[in-house]
Chain A
Amino acid sequence: MLRLEDVHAYYGESHVLQGVSLEVREGEVVCLLGRNGAGKTTTLRAIMGLTPPARGRVVFRDRIISGLPPNRVNALGIGFVPEDRRVFRGLSVAENLQVAEARGRRQRRWPLERIYDLFPMLAERRDQPGDRLSGGQQQMLTIARALVGEPDLLLLDEPNEGLAPVVVQQIGRLVDELAATTTILLTEQNIRFALRHAKRGYVIQKGRIVHDAPTDEFRTRPERLERLLSV
């Protein structure tokens, strides 16, 4: 469904992604593991077109999407949940969802009623400004905001960063639930969360994929991954 082929990306002069290749198949939950500064966020930004690849390509459903602006990438069916949450401060919860709704589609899998069913806490606070929510609530809001865009592929950037263990559990359950209908690529530093919820993993280090862990190894020999991450 999604394929990155030798993707290079820069921030100004600094060469952050140095040839990232990876693949996500329809229906999978894939985790991109790596330490702080390894290039996880940049990989997701490159997919979205927020940090357009300088070299290499991103293919989504047989279509080259590298070079498209992020709003077009989103319209093709890729939803993005950024690491630092980034709700639109000053817009209410309802408005945060409203501006992101996919319009003009006949079939909506995530109409607002269903979103509010899934996140009753958001329904209760729909008129509150987005930045009044707690960290965990903001994370739910950014996930909900991505869902109303009707994504077929969801990019989750470190969805647990800085959140309390209860919230991490909630997000884990949510990922499992979403996985039934949506393909997911998530990034993590924490291998335990990845093992519990993802089927496959890649390890990224200094902008390069250094390890591609197939399903069995991912689950049966986590020590190897652990070693790669702790170096």
Chain B
Amino acid sequence: MSTFVAALLNSLDIGMLLFVIASGLTIVFGVLGVLNFAHGALYMLGAYFALTAVRWIELPFWAALVIVPFAVAILAAAVERLALRRIYARHPTQALLLTFAFLLILNDAVRMIWGPGYQIIDPPRALTGTFVLAGAVYPLYSLFVIASGAAVGLAVWLLFSRTLIGKRIRAAALDRDMALAVGIDVPRLYTLVFAFGAWLAAFGGALAAPMRALGPAMGDRIIIESFIIVVIGGLGSFPGALLGALILGALHGFGGRWFPQFDIVWPYVGMALVLLLRPHGLLGRSA
């Protein structure tokens, strides 16, 4: 029983973290039609910015968690304005290549600035403890990750379903020309959405920093897992990102506990199964 609860909580904290990150990837794809290869690098940047903020600037972790995602979002907005915007009209592979270049630049920049070694940061004092649930001892910080993921997910859902700007973004994603023709400033929304995707990646990075070792390859693993999630859930589908992330979390949480030697394999097995049975993903639109 206690191992089951531990595996469940573990699945949830991995799943909710992945959900925050993958939702950024899927939203950017759904609106801009760009699969952002640099999304994992932005996640990594969020983690390293948090490291710098906490260790060198000595900000409290909470402040870092608020400020860091905005800093990364501003950087992403600049990239969209200066580079990405110029190539939407061309073949989609060009945007893919551009974000890939962005990924390489960020990866090397992280290595240059923070070095190739692994680093860790401590969770904030209020969350360093553990709690006991059904006989299993569990870090308090994991609970915080689960709650944060749920809160961000809810906020994103409210943004897109209730606010004017969210509705305009949906209109622009559905029919770009018509959105322009009814007066929506679509290019500005594209910048905002790309920046928001980066915000989600960086928030995930800052959130993950106290529970994962920071290393210059951390982004590569995350981008692969995020791709798998959006493929499982359906490209461009926000609920699909939640479902895919929870599935991947469960594969790690349960699969990793009982068959740890296969931990790296599970996501691919899951993705292959979904692709075989539902090529557009579980919640994807076939079109």
Contact = CB atoms under 8 A, between A and B. Distances in A.
Interface of A: 48-50, 69-71, 74-75, 80, 82, 86, 88-91, 95-96, 98-100, 102, 145-146, 149
Contacts of B164: 98-99
B108 interface: no
Contacts of B171: 88, 91, 95-96, 99
A218 to B, nearest CB: 28
Contacts of B179: 88, 99
Interface string B164-188: 1001101100110111111111110
Given A71-B185, A86-B175, A90-B174, A99 B167 contact: yes
A88 B175 contact: yes
Question: Which interface residue of B164, B170, B181 has the most chain A CB atoms within 10 A?
Answer: B181
A65 to B, nearest CB: 13
A225 B164 CA distance: 46
Chain B binding surface SS class: helix
Contact of A74 (B168, B174, B182): B182
B167 A95 contact: yes
A99 B180 contact: no
B174 A88 contact: yes
A99 B184 contact: yes
Contact of A99 (B168, B177, B187): B168
A86 B171 CA distance: 11
A42 to B, nearest CB: 13
Nearest to B165: A99
Contacts of B182: 74, 80, 99-100, 145-146, 149
Nearest to B177: A50
Interface in B177-214: 177-187
B240 to A, nearest CB: 15
Given A91-B167, A91-B170, A100 B175 contact: no
A50 B182 CA distance: 12
Nearest to A94: B167
B172 to A, nearest CB: 9
A80 B179 CA distance: 11
A50 B168 contact: no
Contacts of B180: 49-50, 69-71, 74
B167 A98 contact: yes
A88 B170 contact: yes
B193 to A, nearest CB: 15
27 contacts: A48-B181, A49-B180, A50-B180, A50-B181, A69-B187, A70-B181, A71-B180, A71-B181, A71-B183, A71-B185, A74-B181, A74-B183, A75-B183, A80-B181, A86-B175, A86-B178, A88-B170, A88-B171, A88-B175, A99-B167, A99-B179, A100-B182, A100-B183, A102-B183, A145-B182, A146-B182, A149-B182
